[in-house]
Amino acid sequence: MILPESITSIGLSAFSGTKIKEIDIPNSVTEIGRNAFANCAELEKITISNNVNRLNNYLFENCINLKEVNWHPTTTYGTITGGVFYGCSSLRTIRIPAGISLSGGHYYNNDRLTVFKDCTSLDSLIVEDGADTPFYLTYTDYGRDYYGEFKNCKIKYVYLGRPFKNDARYESQMPFLTGVEHLVIGDNVTYNYTWLPYGFCHSQGKGLKRLEIGKSLTSVNIDFSINETLEYIKIDKVTPPTAVGFSNYNYINTILYVPKGCKPVYESSEIWKNFWNILEYDDGGSTDVETKKCAKPIINYSYGKLSFHCDTEGAAYHSTITDLDIASYNTNEVQLDVTYNISVYATKTGYENSDVATATLCWVDVEPQTEGLSDDIAQVRAKVILIQSMDGQIAISGIDDGTRIYAYEVNGQQIGTAISHNGQANLTTNLKPGSIVIIKIGDRSVKATIK
């Protein structure tokens, strides 16, 4: 949905509970009321006017499918207030524009007002580059519950383009970002506050794995004296910053990357000279750090259960399953497909997310004549068929040997055929990714998408 340029404001709860999937708010809009898009369960993407400098309370509360927020305000000062993204469980990355701060968690005894509470998929926080204005976080400081703006989030990656600060009294007790494993401090950050380690690392930097420091930071006030997880530190600074100290584990095992030509300087500087492995990188910023990617998962079905596997050991799986039969209709006939669409990708800390694997799971009746409605429990014999595609190849498993399979385009043109062997049939097509293919197995036809 694209709103007309004639609109200058959006009122309280204006679109709340509607079924919009995408909306573009024009730059003519300068104000958006609280709850304006709350409970829009189908909303996936929104572009916000550049002339809006404040996101009001509960703006996107419980938008459970919201995945992308585009907002580039022209203001030098603005705020995201209480509960704006509360319950946005599909949001994975959030960018905090320059000049924008958070002001939700300081509300006494009401953690629903914290900005990102229950954004359970949120794993990346990017605080965009800004001037000297710090990035503020607030949280309850009454000694009862340190809510933080990110309660129940699992943030792993933080890019800090501005100095960090919070406005509460108990700076050393900030658990809400203690799962961070990769911290990048941007070139605009010239200093950090002494409580930075408590906000971005496990106790005294215990859990941080990758640290990158920009050109301007003069002092690394993170105490790594008990850290045994750091894989590398990358410093983009010719003059070594001062540092509090590291553990013997770090000195022996952590790689220290420094600018080309600066290795002798670091080898003679306090703290940094203790690192056993100091390597230089070129002016382009490239290092020998390998970019790894999770292997694409394999989908299997057996005895009523789906299972996923990928070659990356220790990977976690994130799957989505939709049932085409679960919907509302207003026609006098409904085709029941008994079909599930499955998608899954794998993740692992320190790795890029895998490509998405997809499959179609369907049931084909062995004895169609036994179908029918009954007051009693009806038992219908059926075979479970799993259909997967990749690069134009279609693999179908769970079929009786000797069964002929046909593949058609949506216009009815046949594009492939195969006979199953050992429960498997493979078809080669020239269809492009995203194309719909119709698979005919006996008397039943199933739609699938080419990946």
The answer to whether residue 443 sits within a structural domain is: yes
Contact between 266 and 237 under an 8 Å Cβ cutoff? The reply is: no
For residue 240, being part of any structural domain is answered with: yes
Q: Which one of 265, 289, 313 terminates a domain? A: 289
pLDDT of res. 346: 87
| DSSP string over 274-309 | G-SEEEEE-TT---S---EEPPPPEEEEETTEEEEE
Inter-residue contact 306 to 300 (CB < 8 Å): yes
Q: Virtual CA dihedral for 108, 113, 118, 124, nearest 10 degrees?
A: -100
The secondary structure of 166-219 as a DSSP string is E-SS-TT--GGGTT--EEEE-TT-----TTHHHHHSSGGGTT--EEEE-SS--E
CATH code, domain carrying 214: 3.80.10
**277-304: burial string, b at 16+ Cβ within 10 Å, e else:** ebeebeeeeebebeeeebbbbebebeee
Q: How far is the C-alpha of 97 from the C-alpha of 187, rounded, in Å?
A: 16
Q: Report yes or no on 34 lying in a domain.
A: yes
Give the SS3 label for residue 320: strand
Question: Quick one: pLDDT at residue 198?
Answer: 43
**176 lies in the same domain as 250:** yes
Judge whether 365 lies within some domain: yes
C-alpha triplet 439, 443, 449: angle, nearest 5° = 15
Q: State the residue for tokens 């007051």.
A: 375
d(CA 383, CA 177): 48
- 109 vs 291: CA distance, rounded Å: 43
Q: Let me know whether 315 and 240 are in one domain.
A: no
Name residue 270's amino acid. E
Are residues 131 and 265 located together in one domain of the fold?
yes
Regarding whether 221 and 353 lie in a shared domain, the answer is no
- Residue 302 and residue 239: Cα distance in Å, rounded? 60
What pLDDT is recorded for position 435?
74
Tokens representing 159 are 């890019």
Q: Write out the two tokens for 215.
A: 């050109």
User: Count H helices, E strands: the chain?
Assistant: 3, 34
- Residue 195 belongs to some domain of the structure: yes
The tens-digit pLDDT sequence of the chain (451 residues) is 888 889 999 999 999 999 999 999 999 999 999 999 999 999 999 999 999 999 999 999 999 999 999 999 987 788 888 889 999 999 999 998 888 887 765 555 566 778 888 899 998 988 888 765 666 665 444 444 445 677 788 888 888 888 766 554 444 334 455 678 888 888 888 765 434 434 444 444 567 889 999 988 888 877 788 788 889 999 999 999 988 878 888 898 899 999 988 999 999 999 999 999 899 987 554 444 455 788 888 888 776 678 888 888 888 888 877 775 555 566 677 666 667 778 888 887 767 778 888 887 776 665 555 555 555 555 555 677 778 877 667 888 877 788 888 888 877 888 888 888 887 888 887 777 767 778 887 767 777 777 6
Which residues partner with 341 through β-bridges?
322, 360
pLDDT at 288: 46
Distance (Å, whole) CA 430 – CA 440: 18
Q: In total, how many domains does the chain have?
A: 2
Q: What is the largest CA-CA distance in the chain?
A: 85
79 & 130 share domain: yes
Question: For the whole model, what pTM was predicted?
Answer: 0.61
Angle at 235 between CA 148 and CA 279, to 5 degrees: 135
Q: Is 139 within a domain?
A: yes
Same domain, 125 and 210: yes
Strands 210-213 and 182-185, bridge-based pairing:
parallel
Residues of the domain holding 259: 9-289
**Residue type at position 56:** N
The three-point CA angle 287-290-295 to 5° equals 160
* Paired tokens of 392: 């134009």
Q: Are 107 and 140 in contact (CB under 8 A)?
A: yes
Return all residues near 3 (Cβ < 8 A) that are at least 6 apart: 23, 24, 25, 26, 29
- The verdict on 284 and 329 lying in the same domain is no
HEC string of 61-125 equals CCCCCCCEEEECCCCCCEEEECCCCCCCCCCCEEEECCCEEEECECCCCCHHHCCCCCCCCCCEE
Say if residue 279 is in the same domain as residue 314.
no
Nearest CA among 8, 17, 49 for reference residue 36: 17
pLDDT of residue 10: 95
Q: Which H helix or E strand runs over 248?
A: helix 248-253
262, 289, 316 - which closes a domain: 289
Question: Is 313 found in the same domain as 242?
Answer: no
Place of tokens 């794995």: 209
Pairing of strands 298-302, 305-309: antiparallel
Closest CA to 358 of 298, 439, 305, 407: 298
Residue with tokens 């009786």: 400
Domain match, 24 and 99 both: yes
CA distance 142 to 156: 27
Last residue of a domain, one of 248, 273, 289: 289
244 within some domain = yes
Are both 383 and 282 inside the same structural domain? no
Domain match, 277 and 312 both: no
Residue 2 lies inside a defined structural domain of this protein: no
